[in-house]
A = this chain, B = another copy of it.
Amino acid sequence: MTLDERKMQILRAIVTDYINTAEPVGSRTLARKYLLGISPATIRNEMADLEEIGYLQQPHTSAGRIPSDKGYRFYVDVLMDHHLLPLETAVTIRETIRSRQREIEEAIHHASYVLSYLTNYTAVVLGPMPHERICEQIRLVSLDPCNVLLVLITVPRFIENQLVEVAEPVAPGELEKISMALTEKLQGIAWGVIPQDLIREIREIIRRQELMEALLQMLGVSAREDRVDNLYLEGTTRILDQPEFKDLEKARAVLGIFEGKQMLLEILEGVAREPGVAVSIGQENRRDEFKDCSFVTASYESGGRVVGTLGVIGPTRMDYSRAISAVECVADTLSELLDVLGKRKK
């Protein structure tokens, strides 16, 4: 069923008003504030139609209407104005995030902060996954005869290191050689998908049990717990500002999920990694805990490859337009920044 122009106007007005006020909106209000040409009675008829198709719902008989998930979906896909972020805001975002480019982690962390601050919703940024980072260089450095520092440098540029105690002293020259050989073998390979036979070859090169173990442990960072460290969450308490979470039980459920991070990780990993912004509304998130929440997410890239995802989490009654433009801007900024950081290396 397609909606005529007037039904769309009405639906748009209801969603807009409800986003602003969080109160069910009635025909009278609507006529007065948005639709001066039409009488409340007419609006009532239209609203009844909209409810029947499933775009609206009524909390109880004598209340106004509120949008259903389906209503929000139609709003986001069809009705909404895609208002742009004011240029000065965009510039500020860029500068704020760029000013923290000492390390990528810092920039990512900061991006989550900016996003939350910008939207007043909870923000989440998933950094480049350890097991997807591409190996650029491996170095073994002798600290003293018995201790070796194992350093891994990846693209995007993360530096992981681990201190390894070796049973028998190693000659620095030996480490040099191993470093070169390892780098040659692994360069350009994604850190999480190293094939078995390559691992066998590496074992041949390294020879030392302790070092091999340490290397494998680094490979093991694709394990769950470590991936959670890669998720930056900011502004979790902002969900409490939303009237729909004035109920303590609801608030606790969502905050509990936030704290665990695990489920958020799964959700963000599940988001389609396509360019552009994705919106997931209410029950569209399969998780019951988020049935009153919406996600606005986008992926960011490094060297033309999608490496991570970020987004905001708010009530379904979210200001989608604002959220989308903010998420878009931060994602773009982050992509740019990663490219700059990547190119710096000669």
Chain A positions within 8 Å of B, measured between CB atoms, are 102-103, 137, 139, 141, 143-144, 146-147, 149, 151, 153, 157, 159, 161-163, 165, 217, 235-237, 240, 246, 248, 251-252, 255-256, 259, 344-346
CB nearest to A247 among chain B residues: B248
Q: Are B217 and A237 in contact (CB under 8 A)?
A: no
A-B contact pairs, 21 of them (CB 8 A): A103-B162, A139-B143, A143-B153, A146-B346, A147-B345, A147-B346, A149-B151, A149-B159, A153-B163, A159-B161, A161-B161, A165-B344, A165-B345, A165-B346, A235-B259, A237-B252, A237-B255, A240-B251, A240-B252, A246-B248, A255-B255
CB nearest to A220 among chain B residues: B102
Residues of B within 8 A of A235 (CB): 259
Q: Nearest chain B CB to A247's CB is how many angstroms away?
A: 9
When chains A and B are docked, how far (Å) is the Cα of A151 from the Cα of B345? 18
CB nearest to A147 among chain B residues: B345
Q: Nearest chain B CB to A97's CB is how many angstroms away?
A: 14
- Top 3 nearest A-B pairs (CB, nearest first) are A237-B255, A146-B346, A240-B252
Q: Are B144 and A346 in contact (CB under 8 A)?
A: yes
Residues of B within 8 A of A248 (CB): 240, 246, 248, 251
Residues of B within 8 A of A144 (CB): 346
Q: Nearest chain B CB to A108's CB is how many angstroms away?
A: 13
Evaluate whether A137 and B143 lie within 8 angstroms (CB atoms) in the complex, with A161-B161, A259-B236, A344-B165 already known. yes
Q: Nearest chain B CB to A261's CB is how many angstroms away?
A: 11
When chains A and B are docked, how far (Å) is the Cα of A240 from the Cα of B256? 10
- Extra pairs beyond A146-B346, A246-B248, A251-B251 (14, CB < 8 Å): A102-B217, A139-B143, A141-B151, A143-B153, A149-B159, A153-B163, A161-B161, A165-B345, A237-B252, A237-B256, A240-B248, A240-B251, A248-B248, A248-B251
Q: Nearest chain B CB to A290's CB is how many angstroms away?
A: 16
Q: Nearest chain B CB to A217's CB is how many angstroms away?
A: 7
